[in-house]
Every structure is written in C-alpha cells, then in structure tokens.
Amino acid sequence: MPPVSRGFRRRASAEADTSRIPPGQYRTTDFPVLSAGPTPRTPLDRWSLAIDGAVDAAREWSWQEFLALPQETVTVDIHCVTKWSKLDTTWTGVAVDTLLDGVDTSAEFVTAWCDGGYTTNVPLEDLAGGRAWVVHEFAGEPLSPEHGGPARLLVPHLYFWKSAKWLRGLSLTIEDEPGFWETYGYHNYGDPWREQRYWGD
C-alpha cells in the first residue's frame, strides 16, 4: 500500500454543470496538444480532401473547392481519453453530411486517414446526421498546425482521438478496420458517456 500524500487530492472539478462532464473526466480551460508524431506542414496548394474507398465514385476537393462548400459554425464540448474535457469549443467547417451528399455506398464504416500516417475508424452513421464535420477554424481563427490545421475531423460525441488531425481523406470500408490507437488497446468505438476508453470497456 503506497503512502498517502497528506493533503493531495485530484484536480477539483469546479463545475456546477457536471452533467456536461462525462465520467472520469475533469474540465480544463486550456487546450492540450496531443499527437502521435511531428506536426505535418502541408501547403494549401498541395492539400486535398478525398472521399474514397467503397464508393461509386471517389471525390476530391482542393482547398479552394473545400472552402466554397457550405460552411457551418458549431459550438461543442470535447472529451479526451487522457481525461480532460473542454466545454463550448467553437469550430467552423463543412458537415460530413455535405461531403457525403449523393455518395452511393454499401459501406458501414469509415477510416479517416491523415498526413503523417495517422488513422482512426468510425461507423459511417456516426459521421452522418449532423454529428461530424471537417473543420478548418477554431474559435474564429484558422486552425493552427499543432491543433490539426489545415483541417481536421471533428466528431465530438466520441473521444477526441477520433477527431483526426491533419485529415486528408475519409475512406469508406465494408469491414471495420481499427485505426492507429484502436490497434494499441483503445476502444473501437469510444463513447465518453459509457467511458469506453479501452478494449473491453
């Protein structure tokens, strides 16, 4: 039994509205930067966003074409598996529904793939129905590279490792294909409200 450090306690959750904080999380007001590797620096004139995989026809947008799509600004809470939650974050971007509009597919899963090689997997239905965006602005400013700029996926109802930074494409897949962290013990789905952090949770 380790010695108790007199007077030490976990971070206080000075939060009246705890209904917004999932189990095991604490609220932060800063914005920690986490990543699996160095920050990619893709110039905008070489950037593209693709929808590919098990679709009738792959589609791709250049940066200008992406910005010309219908844009939305949303304010959401985000929850990281490392236990911090950040409330009322504001993002601007394109709804994944817009990107998928008219796409013909029998796929049920999506692999998000990114500059730097990161991947993560999400059921297709979790990216649809107004629950996900590809965003390029945070708090009214262009998304910084350390936070995933030029553009990242935003799926706030799942743990934030699913909101892949430096997004370059969404590949629709027939089979569910675990992404990077999902391969190393992190939960395949990742619902913060059911505290699905790891395999078997």
Q: Are 125 and 191 in contact (CB under 8 A)?
A: no
The only residue of 129, 130, 142, 185 in contact with other proteins, by rule CB under 8 A: 185
Residues 54-93 that bind other proteins (CB under 8 A): 80-82
Residues 95-124 that bind other proteins (CB under 8 A): none
The only residue of 109, 113, 166, 181 in contact with other proteins, by rule CB under 8 A: 181
C-alpha 8/C-alpha 101 separation (Å) is: 53
Query: Contact region for other proteins (CB under 8 A) — 45-53, 88-96, 136-144, 183-191?
Result: 183-191
The only residue of 34, 58, 68, 174 in contact with other proteins, by rule CB under 8 A: 34
Per-position DSSP letters for 24-88, written without gaps between them:
T-EE-SS-----SSPPP---GGG-EEEEEESSSS-EEEEHHHHHHS--EEEEEEEE-TTSEEEEE
Residue number, 21 or 80, with CB nearest to other proteins: 80
The DSSP code for 192 is G
The DSSP H or E segment spanning 141 is: strand 141-142
Interface pattern 120-159 for other proteins (x via CB under 8 A) = --------------------------x------------x
